[in-house]
Structures are given as C-alpha cells and as structure tokens.
Amino acid sequence: MAPTEIPKWLKEAKEYDYSDIKEGIRLHLNESPYSPPNFIIQEVEKYLSQGNRYQHPDLTSRFKELAAEYNKVEPSNIFPTPGGDGALRAIFYNFLNPGDTVTYNFPSYSMYSVYSTVRGLKVNKVNLVENGDWWKEDIDKLLDFAKKSKLVVIDDPNNPTGSPMLKANKDLISTLVESINGFLVLDEAYYEFSGYTAASLVNEYPNVMIVRTLSKAFSLASYRVGYLIANKEVVDALTKTSTPFDVALPSLIAGITALENPSYARKIVNEITENREYLYSSLKKLGLKVYKSVTNFLFVKDNRDLLNPLMERKIAIRKPIDGFYRITVGTREQCEILVKALGEILESGD
Ligand code: PMP
C-alpha cells in the first residue's frame, strides 16, 4: 500500500461534535422553529418538476442581485455559498495555508476551531469578558494578536453568548483591519436579529468579509444557502475556485424566493424576539443566571446537569462549554414547555 499522504494535523483532528434528536423540542442548534412559507416550497417544486438539470447561470446572477439589493451593495460583492459554513470554508481553504495564524474569540462558533484544525493553522483564542448582563470582546488583546494573524474571525453577534461584539463600529473595525496582516471576517449569521451590519465596509476595506446565512431568520437551514459579502476582487477569486453548481438548484431557488420576499423573515424575527424576552424573564424568575441577547438564543450560566433531565423530557439544549448552556428560542409554546420543565427540574434537584 502506498504511504498515506494525509497530513498529521488532519489525522489528529476531531469532527464537529454534532449530536441530534429525532423527536422532541429542538432548542440546541439555533434553527428557526417556524417552517418557511409555502410559496417557497411551491417554487422549489416547480423547478424540480421541470426535469433534473444543472441550473442556468442566470439563477446565480439573480441570487447575487437580490442579496446585493438586500444589503445595499453591488452584485459583484456577493459570493453565494452552501450556508454560512460554505462561506467560512471558502475562506479557510482558499486564503490560508497550513502554519498560518488565525485569531478568534473564546467562546465563539465552534466551526472556527474545526476549520483551523483541519487546515493545520495556529490559533490564538481571545477570551470574552463577562460584563454584567452581556459579554464583550477584549479589544486590546484582539488588536495585539491581529498583528500576527493572517485571519481574524469574529462572530458578531457572538455565538454562544448572544452578545454584540464590534457592532459594526467603523472606528473599531478600521483599527482592527489596519492591524491585521490579512483578512477580517465578520460572521453576521444572526444579522437579521441584531439589526447591525458592517456590509458597507467591504468596498472601503478589501480585506473585510461578511458571512451571512438564510438558515436562521429565513428558516431555510436544511437548504444550506448563504453568501459572502466581500470586495469584488475577493469574490472574483473565490468564484474561480467554485463550480457554478455549488449551491444546489433547490437551495438557490429557495434563496431567491426568500430574498424576493424578505418580509416573512421580519415577521419571524419579531416573533422570536418576543419569545426571547418571555424566555429571558421566565428563566430569570427561576433564579437562573441568564444573559441578554440580540440573537435567537440565550446563554445561561449553571453548573448543574440540565442536559440529561431535559433530554428525558425530550427537550434538547446545548452545552457549548463547561458551566454554560445555550438555549435556542423556540415558539412561544416550546418556550413555555421548557420553562415548566426547568422549573420542575430545579425544584426537584434532579
Ligand atoms: N456562523 C455562526 C455564528 C453560526 O452560529 C452558524 C450556525 N450555527 C453558522 C455560521 C452557519 O450556519 P449555516 O451553515 O447553517 O448557514
């Protein structure tokens, strides 16, 4: 047998820790609890019933036009991807080499660590700082590490804390960008909930990239559709590395129809925000330390085992790090069931 050429770091890497449930209440993956509207499904079915062919490039152009309009940038600033993860993967695989240094906050979205490991990157983690009801970034440390980094990636708002980070603050972003010896990626997966974006900066700073997804507010998680907002030069380079079919036809159609009708996402955001406020005050009333959030999830500090007793009641939440839980905001009914279950668990010392 020929000697294996698989790099050492890849052999040692661990897969994304992904446990799921088949039935019950899903409050563990930050999905939307609502289905996408029927007109999206109908549009996808219409295209699928027309035969099974590679999609016409006009559809990719249409997606780029709509995403550009939605973000007040140009179509040449949009790179469509299979989910926000597809955008992150494109960056980690095309702009970095093994041995390069990446900096991100801790905690933050767990895929940054997965991509860094499988690409053989050196990692600087900057601990977030607890700040009353919120968490905040340690900007001095970020600036310090940025100087030695090829990539700084910041999820803004942060997953799992739900806190805003740079908050599209132009001064902070430009200071950071000027320190980096490479790219600044702002992962705005929860933009529709937070309402702030640094999208307009991609033409001012060619090394700023913004990750977006339709998995959250647009309720399209299973379709795997998202996009990168970046300078034209970055988009042109990434386009050469992709095939015109990377975003599958059903996903592209779902994405186009969603961006043609963004008002349904605004409705979802309003409902989730109301449910989040209900859940936040209910968890506080139960005596839990819960942090404020500008996203569709809440971060809770607790040392007790809540995962197992909740799982026994068919409710899944996530424990991203020891001593902390992340709870996705579900429908009002799901939130009420969770509050009742947690009340019972805490009372019985289960
Ligand atoms: N970025 C962040 C911060 C996320 O939380 C997620 C999903 N949990 C993603 C990106 C990727 O989402 P998707 O691939 O479904 O678009």
Tell me the pLDDT of the chain (350 aa) as tens digits. 566 788 888 888 887 777 788 899 999 999 999 999 999 999 999 999 998 888 899 999 999 999 999 999 999 999 999 999 999 999 999 999 999 999 999 999 999 999 999 999 999 999 999 999 999 999 999 999 999 999 999 999 999 999 999 998 899 999 999 999 899 999 999 999 999 999 999 999 999 999 999 999 999 999 999 999 999 999 999 999 998 889 999 999 999 999 999 999 999 999 999 999 999 999 999 999 999 999 999 999 999 999 999 999 999 999 999 999 999 999 999 999 999 999 999 998 76
Specify the pLDDT at position 51.
86
Residue nearest to atom 1 of ligand 1 (CA): 189
CA of 2 to the centre of ligand 1 (A): 38
Domains and CATH numbers, the chain: 8-35+264-348 (3.90.1150.10), 38-261 (3.40.640.10)
CB atoms within 10 A of CB 205: 20
Q: Are 248 and 231 in contact (CB under 8 A)?
A: no
Q: How far is CA 208 from the centre of its chain?
A: 17
Residues 6 or more apart whose Cβ sits within 8 Å of residue 136 = 128, 129, 163, 165
CB atoms within 10 A of CB 127: 12
Specify the pLDDT at position 294.
98
Q: Which of 109, 128, 210, 224 is the best mutation target for the ligand 1 pocket, counting ligand atoms within 8 Å of the beta carbon and taking the most?
A: 109
Separation CA 350–CA 339 (nearest Å): 15
Specify the pLDDT at position 13.
85
Structure tokens at 22: 């088949």
Q: Which numbered atom of ligand 1 lies nearest the CA of 158?
A: 3
Specify the pLDDT at position 3.
61
Omega before residue 157 within 30° of 0, cis: yes
Q: Which numbered atom of ligand 1 lies nearest the CA of 108?
A: 3
Return the closest-CA partner of residue 59 out of 36, 42, 43, 41: 43
Q: Are 12 and 116 in contact (CB under 8 A)?
A: no
Q: Are 328 and 28 in contact (CB under 8 A)?
A: yes
Strand, helix or coil at 246? coil
CA of 124 to the centre of ligand 1 (A): 21
Specify the pLDDT at position 1.
52
Task: Please compute, for residue 74, the number of CA atoms within 13 A of its CA located in the half-sphere on the CB side.
Answer: 11
DSSP 171-190: HHHHHHHHH-SSEEEEE-TT
CA of 233 to the centre of ligand 1 (A): 24
Residue nearest to atom 10 of ligand 1 (CA): 84
Q: Which of 16, 85, 224, 228 is the best mutation target for the ligand 1 pocket, counting ligand atoms within 8 Å of the beta carbon and taking the most?
A: 85
Task: Please compute, for residue 321, the number of CA atoms within 13 A of its CA located in the half-sphere on the CB side.
Answer: 13
Strand, helix or coil at 126? strand
**C-alpha dihedral (28, 29, 32, 35), degrees to nearest 10:** -100
DSSP label of 37: P
Ligand 1 is surrounded, with C-beta below 6 A, by: 30, 83-85, 109, 155, 159, 187, 189, 213, 215, 221, 226
CA of 328 to the centre of ligand 1 (A): 13
- Phi-psi category of 267—alpha, beta or left, where left has phi over 0 and alpha has psi -120 to 50? alpha
Strand, helix or coil at 12? helix
CA distances from 301 to 85, 134, 181, 189 (A): 27, 12, 36, 23
CA of 212 to the centre of ligand 1 (A): 8
CA of 12 to the centre of ligand 1 (A): 24
The helix (H) or strand (E) run that includes residue 135 is strand 134-136
Specify the pLDDT at position 140.
94
Total length of the chain? 350
Separation CA 148–CA 348 (nearest Å): 51
The residues with which 81 forms a beta bridge, in sequence order, are 226
Q: Which of 166, 190, 215, 251 is the best mutation target for the ligand 1 pocket, counting ligand atoms within 8 Å of the beta carbon and taking the most?
A: 215
Q: Which of 81, 128, 156, 187 is the best mutation target for the ligand 1 pocket, counting ligand atoms within 8 Å of the beta carbon and taking the most?
A: 187
Specify the pLDDT at position 350.
60
